Structure 1
Amino acid sequence: MAASQNASARQDFGRQARQQVRRSQHANIGDTRRDPIELLKANSAGRVEALVPLRYGRMSVSPFTFFRGSAVLQAHDLAGTVNTGIILPLCGDAHLSNFGGFATPERQLVFDLNDFDEAAPGPWEWDLKRLAASFAVAGDQMGVDRGAIAECVSTAVQEYSDRIREYSELSSLDLWHEVITFDRMMDRAVSDEGRQLIAKTGKKAASRTNESVLTKMATLQDGRWTIQDAPPALFHPSGPNSLLGEEKWANTDAWKGKLAKAFDAYVQTLPFDRRALISQYELHDIAFKVVGVGSVGTFCLIMLFVDCHGNPLFLQVKEARPSVIATYFPATGPSHQGERVVAGQRLLQAASDSFLGWTTGPANRHFYFRQLRDMKVSAEVERMSNTVLNGYARMCGWALARAHAKAGGKAIEISSYIGSGERLADALVEYAFAYAKQNEADYDQFITACRTGRLEARGDEEMALDFRV
C-alpha cells in the first residue's frame, strides 16, 4: 500500500480483504500432514551437535516447552491456511512467554515483545494465532478450565482489535513514540492482585542489572574478572568443559586477535554515540551460554567488559539463523540474519537495547549483539491466578497491537478487516483449542521418538553430571 493513499482507500482495502478471507476461516489450523520429528531434525541442523540433546531435553518437559521450541511446526501449518494479504514485520514467535519487561535507554521500565529470532515479514494474523495458541497450551498445562482459557484467548484478541482500532487513528509520529510503561499497566490493572504483581515484577526488574549479575557469574583475580564455568549451560569455549567439539574458536584471546574484526564490524552497526560509549570498556572474558528452549544449540556467547571504575557490561552474542517464518512465507529482507533480527527488533519494539547490533563470525555464522541483562524480566505465568492470567492476556494483546501498528504502518487496514473483533475472537478461540490438541499429538510423537532413540533427549541435570568429579 502506498503511503500517499488516504485513510478511506486503506479502509476499503481492509474491508475488501474480508471478501477473500472470511474472519471465521481463521479457525482453520492449516496443513498438519507432516512428520514433526523430521521438521525438528531439519531445524536442528547446523547447531552444536553436543547440545541438540539438551534442546530436546528442555522441550520434553511439557507440551508447553515443546510448543515454545517448535515454532517451525506452527509456521509450517500456518503456511497451509489462507491469509489476509496484509503483510508486515512479524515477531515470528509471539507466544505468551516472549513478552516481558526491560529498561529503555532512558531507564524507563516498559512491557513489550522481547524475542525476535524468528522476526520476518508475514501475514499479521500469524503472530496473533501463535499468541492465542500459547494461552490454550499453557492454560491446559496449568490446569485452567476450558472456559477460563477461552476467556483469556478472547481477551487477548479483543484487546488487540481494540488497540489496533485506536492506533489506526493516531498520527504516524505519535504511533512511533507509543510505549507501554509499567505505570500505564498499573493504571490498566483491574484487580489488586494484578497491581501487586506488576509492582513486584517492576521491583524485580530494577534489581536485574549488569552489576547484580557480576559476582554471581564471575570472580575477580589479579584485577581481572573471569566467568565461572557451570556446564552444560555456561562454559569457556576452549576450556576443559567445552561442548563445542572442533569449533573452539570463541575464547578471549581469539576475540582480541583474529576475531577482533568481527567485533569491530559489530561496533560499526551501532550509532556513533554508542560506539563512543563501548570504547570506554575493556574485554575481560568470554564464555558460551546456553539460552532458552528453541535457541539451544545455536552459538551464544557472553562477553564481559569492565570500565575504568570496575563497573561491568555483559553483552550477549547470539547466532542468528534463518527465520522459520521466512522458510514458509518467502519475502524480501536483509540477507544477513543478524541484521534481520536487529531490524525486526528495532521496528517492533517501542525502544530497543542501546547495544543492539550485528556481525559475521567464523564459518560465516551470523550474529547479533545485545545486553545480557538490563532490567529484563519475564512473567511467571505458571503462578498466575485465572484473573491475573486474563489480565496478562490483555497486556500481551495490547503489546502485539502496538508492535504491529508501529512496524507495519497498516493499523488502518488491519482494523478495517477485523471490525469489532468479536468474529475474529470467536474464530481464534476455536483455533487455539484445535492447535493445542495438535500440539499435544505432536508432543506425544516427540516423546515417543525420544524414548525409542529416534531422537536423543537429555536434561540439564543429566548433562551436568558428565562434568562432576
Structure 2
Amino acid sequence: MKTSTIAEREARGRAAREHSKRSSHRAVGELHRDPIELLKQSSAGRVGNLVPLRYGRMAVSPFTFFRGSAILQAHDLSKVHDSGLSMPICGDGHLMNFGGFATPERQLVFDLNDFDEVSTGPFEWDLKRLTASFVVAARHMRLSRGTAERLVMTVVNSYRDRMAQYAQCGALELWYDRITFDHMAETALTPEGRRAVRRGMEKAATRTHENLLEKMTSFDSGHWKIHDAPPALFHVLGANTLFTADETETYRKGNVDKMVEQLWADYRKTLSHDRRELLDHFTRQDIVFKVVGVGSVGTRCFVVLLVDHRNKPLFLQLKEARPSVIAQFHKSPAIRHEGERVVFGQRMLQAASDIFLGWATGPLGRHFYFRQLRDMKLSANIELFDSDLLEGYARLCGWIMARAHAKASGQAIEVSAYIGRGDQFAEALSGYASSYADQVERDYDAFMKACRGGKLEARTDEDMAADFCV
C-alpha cells in the first residue's frame, strides 16, 4: 500500500476547501423542522416516568436546554455542507462535557468525558457544538456579545494552533500526549488560573470510591446496601421505583439476580485478562437505578457497588447506550453493539481511559457500557468563573478537542492544512455560533410553550422528590 507524503496530505486538506470553503461554516442553513417532534423522538424508549424530569431539567435555561437537545444540532448540521474530513468525533462536545479524572497511573488529567453520541462525522461538527455552547452559556451568564465572540475565537484558534503542533508529531507522540493538571497549572496565563487548577486538584483528591461509600451506603447483616434517594437513586424492585408496573414485572419474572449474572458474564468477556482478574477480587453487594445528566435522563443507568476482601469499595456504572444522534444524520459505519461503539470511541478520543471500560447486552436486548462511577472525577462550575477564567477554559477546551481529533483520526496534517494559519475559519465559526445561539433561544421558547401548554410534561427534581417519603 502506497503511503502518502506529508505534502500530498497537506494538499488533500487544502483541497477540501473546494468542497466546503472555510467561510461557508458561518451558515446555519434553512431549518424546517419541529423541535418538539425531534425531542419526542429522542425520548422514545426511555423510562416513561422519567421523561418529565428530563424536560424539567432542560427547562431551567436555554443552556440546559441546549445540553439536553443534541439531536437538534445534529439534525441541523446535516443540512449544511461539511468539510468532508470525517473522523471519530465526540458528537456532544459542549463545554460541560470536559472534565478531570485520574488515569490508571493515578495522574490527574483533563479531557473529554462524555461519549454517548460518539460516531464518525466531520471534525467541525464537534467544534460547532463546542463554540455554540460557549455563546449560549455566555448569554446565560449575561456576558457581553464581545465576550462571547472572544470566547469562540479563543476556542477555535486554540484548536488551530494545537492542531498545527500535532501535525508535526509522530504517531506515538500523539498517543502518549496527555493534558495533566500539572501541565495546565504551568501553562495557565494568570495567577488566578493557576490557583483554580490547584483548587481543582485538591477537590478531585476527595472524590473517591471510599468517600462515596460513606455518603451513599450502610452496612447491615454482613451486606452493603445503597440508600434510595428518589428520583435520583432507587432500587428497581423497591418501594421507590419509577419504573412502570409492566417493566418491574419483567424484571421480577426474569429474576434480577440471573439477569445481572448474564450481564456480568458478557461484560467480563470485553475486559483484558488482567482486568478480569482484578475485577474478580470484588464481590457484588447492591445495584440501583441512577438518573444522570440532562440529555441522558430516562435512559437506563445502574450503579453497582462491589467490595474487595478489605471492604474497599468499587462503584461501577452501567449506562444504556442508544444509537448516536450523529449516526442518525451522517452516514457512519455499521454498528454491531452501541456499548462497544461508546467504549471504542472513548478509548480512541481520550488520552487515557478507565481500566474498567467494557460493554454488554442487558435485559430485553438493550445495550450497555460499563465504567467507574467516581474516580477523582471533576467538572468545571463555569457560573463561578470570571471572564479571564472562562477564556482560559475556552483555550483548554480547544486544546483538548484538537488532541482528541488528532489522536483518533491520524489526520492532524489534513485538518491543519484545511484550517490554515489565519483567522478565517475562527471568524466563520464565530458567526455560526452566534446565529445558532439565536436558534437555540427560539427552540427553547417553543419548548417552554409546549411545556406550558401541556404538549410536554416537565417536572423538577424537587417536584418528583416530594412524591416520596424515604
TM-score (norm. length: structure 2): 0.98
- Residue 214 of structure 1 aligns with which residue? 213
Give me the whole-angstrom Cα distance separating, in 2, the residues matched to 1:393 and 1:117: 22
- Residue 331 of structure 1 aligns with which residue? 332
Residue aligned with 2:96, SS: helix
Give me the whole-angstrom Cα distance separating, in 2, the residues matched to 1:440 and 1:100: 26
Query: Partner letter of residue 247 of structure 2?
Result: E
Give me the whole-angstrom Cα distance separating, in 2, the residues matched to 1:256 and 1:312: 20
- Residue 390 of structure 2 aligns with which residue? 389
After TM superposition, the runs of 4+ consecutive aligned structure 1 residues lying more than 3 A away are 253-256
Query: Partner letter of residue 45 of structure 1?
Result: A
- Over the aligned positions, Cα root-mean-square deviation in angstroms equals 1.3
Give me the whole-angstrom Cα distance separating, in 1, the residues matched to 2:128 and 2:153: 12
Give me the whole-angstrom Cα distance separating, in 1, the residues matched to 2:316 and 2:158: 35
| Offset, 1:441 | 0.3
Is the CA contact 2:88–2:345 (under 8 Å) kept in the aligned structure 1?
yes
| Offset, 1:256 | 3.5
Mapping of residues 145-294 of structure 1, within 5 Å? 145-245=144-244, 246-248=246-248, 254-294=255-295
Is the CA contact 2:100–2:376 (under 8 Å) kept in the aligned structure 1?
yes
Residue aligned with 2:466, SS: helix
Query: Partner letter of residue 390 of structure 2?
Result: L
Give me the whole-angstrom Cα distance separating, in 1, the residues matched to 2:2 and 2:123: 18
Residue aligned with 2:178, SS: coil
Query: Partner letter of residue 437 of structure 1?
Result: D
2:60 corresponds to 1:61: yes
2:351 corresponds to 1:358: no
| Offset, 1:250 | 6.1
Cα 1:84/1:188, change in 2 over 3 Å: same
Query: Larger deviation: 87-96 or 15-24?
Result: 15-24
Cα deviations across residues 177-219 of structure 1 (Å, max 9, x unaligned)? 1110011111111111111111111111111010011010111
Give me the whole-angstrom Cα distance separating, in 2, the residues matched to 1:256 and 1:44: 28
Query: Partner letter of residue 368 of structure 2?
Result: F
Give me the whole-angstrom Cα distance separating, in 2, the residues matched to 1:450 and 1:401: 38
Residue aligned with 1:5, SS: coil
- Residue 306 of structure 1 aligns with which residue? 307
Residue aligned with 1:207, SS: coil
Is the CA contact 2:259–2:363 (under 8 Å) kept in the aligned structure 1?
no
| Offset, 1:30 | 2.7
Query: Partner letter of residue 76 of structure 2?
Result: D
Mapping of residues 392-403 of structure 1, within 5 Å? 392-403=393-404
Give me the whole-angstrom Cα distance separating, in 2, the residues matched to 1:274 and 1:337: 22
| Offset, 1:257 | 2.2
- Residue 446 of structure 1 aligns with which residue? 447
- Residue 461 of structure 2 aligns with which residue? 460
Query: Partner letter of residue 267 of structure 1?
Result: R
Cα 1:239/1:71, change in 2 over 3 Å: same
Give me the whole-angstrom Cα distance separating, in 1, the residues matched to 2:210 and 2:189: 35
Cα deviations across residues 100-124 of structure 1 (Å, max 9, x unaligned)? 1000001000010000000000000
Give me the whole-angstrom Cα distance separating, in 2, the residues matched to 1:382 and 1:364: 40
- Residue 432 of structure 1 aligns with which residue? 433
- Residue 411 of structure 2 aligns with which residue? 410
Residue aligned with 1:259, SS: helix
Mapping of residues 66-77 of structure 1, within 5 Å? 66-77=65-76
Is the CA contact 1:161–1:415 (under 8 Å) kept in the aligned structure 2?
yes
Give me the whole-angstrom Cα distance separating, in 1, the residues matched to 2:2 and 2:212: 46
Give me the whole-angstrom Cα distance separating, in 2, the residues matched to 1:8 and 1:222: 69
Cα 1:220/1:438, change in 2 over 3 Å: same
Query: Partner letter of residue 141 of structure 1?
Result: H
Query: Partner letter of residue 206 of structure 2?
Result: S
Cα 1:136/1:121, change in 2 over 3 Å: same
Cα deviations across residues 142-161 of structure 1 (Å, max 9, x unaligned)? 01111111111100000000
Residue aligned with 2:356, SS: coil
- Percent of residue pairs identical: 56
Give me the whole-angstrom Cα distance separating, in 1, the residues matched to 2:457 and 2:24: 38
TM-score (norm. length: structure 1): 0.98
Cα deviations across residues 371-402 of structure 1 (Å, max 9, x unaligned)? 00001100001110000000000000000000
Q: How many residues align?
A: 467
Give me the whole-angstrom Cα distance separating, in 2, the residues matched to 1:138 and 1:250: 41
| Offset, 1:3 | 7.8
Unmatched 5+ stretches in structure 1:
none
